[in-house]
């Protein structure tokens, strides 16, 4: 089972999460606790030296315009996204700067140009990794970051190919476009030991700084360097090479806003709490040791493996492999089964795609359902907008 960090590894159900009138909620349901969202945002800013300008959160997690507005209220105004629907939501939520950190081409890229024209008050940029991609943006107001492959081998120019990076910088400036800086996502460095994770991340940042130096030596300015998802961002915050530079360094963790089991395992000492739970109802006792609830993988994402969640306040219950609507749960060491009809509060293992499973979210404040918010940027825009 996933190792749980406080407050999850306790048999006591934290009364903060209890929802009055939960028995009238259609389950499975997504519940968000705005006060904990605010606490997690504040914890991230503290970990970045108290400077909200060092954070460019990826909104693949937050998804809701409500949550993006909470980030803006904390002084975070630069964001990162992957879809055109997320981009539109960012622009409407009060952001001043939005980066599309996904290699959109074709109709997707054209849509970005349209949004950039519509939201002229927001500084919009996108990633490129070759000269042809850069040339597509000629005549637009979209800024360009060069995507550097950190060794994850997902997108970008390999970090040892400085000449290739410089060729794209030259192509951007020759086309009269704005070269914003470098994007370097090192999400593959989620090593279990924090010291090993930091050492590996710092080695990568050393290579990144060599690219920065080569660009500057060639006479080009680097305005911003963006690195790091959730597991690595403390390593970015501690890297001395990012201090005192002419560029702005921003880390881009997104999961921390809501936090999940993987967050607590990777970053147990930063004060994060689960701001999202999935409410599920026990519907069956198929054996004397198993209970089944309606928290299958169409509610709780299963991409990070089994267990897909933890039962809040019940470490003696082990969620098993889900099917689409069913989640069987085993009672360990003779523990009592939850009764049929009981509501379980499930903390996701991977919260980002879990939020994306829902159209609506219950907002819970002081144990009451305050209102219902749309999951604004769920999915994608219509294919023919």
Write the pLDDT tens digit of every residue in 151-204: 999 999 999 999 999 999 999 999 999 999 999 999 998 888 999 999 999 999
Q: What is residue 184's predicted lDDT score, i.e. its pLDDT? A: 98
Over the stretch 72-84, which tens digit does the pLDDT of each residue have? 999 999 999 999 9
Strand 224-227 to strand 290-293: parallel, antiparallel, or no bridges (unpaired)?
Answer: unpaired
C-alpha 207/C-alpha 379 separation (Å) is 35
Q: Do 230 and 256 contact (CB within 8 A), yes or no?
A: yes
Residue that is last in its domain, among 257, 289, 324: 257
For the chain, the maximum distance between any two Cα atoms, rounded to a whole number of angstroms, is 72
* Nearest alpha carbon to residue 322 among 351, 345, 290: 290
Q: What is the pLDDT of residue 350?
A: 98
**Residue 1 pLDDT:** 37
Does residue 128 fall inside a structural domain?
Answer: yes
Checking if the pLDDT of 3 tops 60, the result is no
Q: Which structural domain range is residue 360 located in? A: 15-32+263-374
How many domains, the chain? Answer: 2
Task: Say which DSSP state 318 is in.
Answer: E
Give me the pLDDT at residue 190, please.
83
- Would you say residue 7 lies in a domain? no
pLDDT for 13: 77
Q: Which two tokens stand for residue 246?
A: 């002419």
Given a cut of 70, whether residue 6 has pLDDT beyond it is no
- pLDDT of residue 221 exceeding 70, the answer is yes
For residue 121, what is the domain's CATH number? 3.20.20.10
Q: Where are the strands (E) in the chain, listed by range? A: 29-32, 78-81, 97-100, 123-128, 143-149, 157-158, 179-184, 224-227, 248-251, 276-284, 290-293, 309-311, 317-319, 327-331, 343-348, 360-365, 368-374
Whether residues 336 and 301 fall in one domain: yes
In eight-state DSSP terms, residue 61 is T
CB-based contact 234:321 (threshold 8 Å): no
Indicate which CATH number applies to the domain containing 324: 2.40.37.20
Same domain, 233 and 249: yes
Distance separating alpha carbons of residues 292 and 338, to the nearest angstrom: 9
What pLDDT is recorded for position 8?
58
In a domain, 349, yes or no: yes
Instruction: Please check whether residue 311 lies inside any domain of the structure.
Output: yes
* Contact indicator for 250, 56 with CB cutoff of 8 Å: yes
pLDDT band at 313 (very low <50, low <70, confident <90, very high): very high
| 134 shares its domain with 74 | yes
**pLDDT at residue 63 greater than cutoff 80:** yes
Contact 309, 295 (CB under 8 A): yes
Q: Are residues 198 and 319 in the same domain?
A: no
Dump pLDDT digits (tens) for 264-284. 999 999 999 999 999 999 999
Q: What is the DSSP letter of 241?
A: G
Q: How far apart are CA 337 and CA 311, in angstroms?
A: 12
The answer to the question of residue 385 being in a domain is: no
Q: Which two tokens stand for residue 147?
A: 């995507």
| Mean pLDDT, rounded, for 117-131 | 97
Verify that 110 and 207 share a domain, yes or no. yes
Position 191 scores a pLDDT of 85
Residues 141 and 193 in one domain: yes
118 and 230 within one domain: yes
Q: Give the long-range contacts of residues 5-13, CB within 8 A, separation 24 or more.
A: 5/264, 5/265, 5/268, 6/268, 7/273, 8/261, 8/264, 8/274, 8/310, 8/312, 8/315, 8/347, 9/315, 10/313, 10/315, 11/313, 11/314, 11/315, 11/316, 12/313, 13/312, 13/313, 13/314, 13/345
4 located within any domain = no
Q: Does the residue 2 lie in any domain?
A: no
pLDDT at 52 over 70: yes
User: Does position 98 have pLDDT exceeding 50, yes or no?
Assistant: yes
Contact (CB, 8 A) for 103 and 129: yes
Tell me: pLDDT of 124 over 50: yes
DSSP bridge partners of 125: 99, 143
Q: What is the rounded average pLDDT for all residues in the chain?
A: 95
Q: Are 357 and 299 in contact (CB under 8 A)?
A: yes
């Amino acid at each position: 089972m996933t190792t749980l960090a406080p407050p999850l590894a306790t048999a006591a159900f934290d009364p903060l999460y209890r929802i009055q009138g939960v028995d009238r909620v259609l389950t499975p349901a997504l519940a968000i606790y705005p006060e904990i969202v605010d606490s997690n945002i504040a914890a991230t800013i503290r970990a970045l030296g108290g400077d909200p300008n060092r954070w460019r959160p990826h909104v693949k997690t937050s998804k809701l315009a409500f949550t993006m507005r909470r980030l803006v209220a904390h002084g975070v105004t630069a964001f990162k996204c992957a879809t055109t629907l997320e981009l539109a939501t960012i622009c409407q939520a009060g952001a001043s700067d939005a980066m599309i950190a996904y290699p959109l081409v074709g109709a997707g890229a054209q849509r970005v140009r349209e949004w950039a024209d519509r939201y002229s008050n927001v500084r919009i940029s996108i990633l490129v990794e070759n000269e042809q991609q850069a040339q597509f943006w000629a005549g637009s107001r979209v800024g360009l970051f060069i995507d550097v492959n950190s060794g994850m081998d997902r997108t970008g120019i390999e970090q040892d190919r400085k000449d290739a990076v410089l060729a794209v910088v030259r192509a951007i400036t020759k086309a009269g476009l704005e070269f914003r800086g470098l994007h370097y996502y090192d999400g593959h460095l989620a090593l279990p030991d924090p010291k090993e994770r930091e050492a590996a991340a710092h080695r990568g940042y050393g290579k990144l700084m060599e690219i920065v130096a080569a660009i500057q030596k060639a006479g080009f300015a680097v305005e911003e360097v963006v690195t790091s998802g959730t597991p690595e961002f403390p390593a970015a915050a501690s890297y001395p090479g990012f201090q005192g530079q002419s560029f702005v360094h921003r880390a881009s963790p997104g999961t921390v806003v809501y936090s999940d089991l993987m967050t607590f395992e990777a970053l147990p000492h930063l004060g994060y709490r689960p701001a999202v739970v999935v409410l599920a109802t026990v519907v069956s006792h198929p054996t004397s040791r198993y209970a089944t609830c309606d928290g299958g993988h169409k509610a709780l994402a299963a991409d990070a493996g089994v267990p897909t969640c933890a039962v809040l306040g019940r470490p003696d219950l082990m969620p098993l492999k889900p099917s689409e609507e069913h989640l069987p749960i085993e009672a360990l060491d003779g523990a009592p089964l939850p009764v049929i009809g009981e509501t379980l509060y499930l903390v996701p293992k991977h919260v980002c795609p879990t939020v994306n499973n829902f159209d609506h979210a219950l907002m819970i404040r002081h144990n009451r359902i305050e209102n219902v918010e749309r999951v604004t940027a769920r999915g994608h825009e219509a294919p023919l907008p």
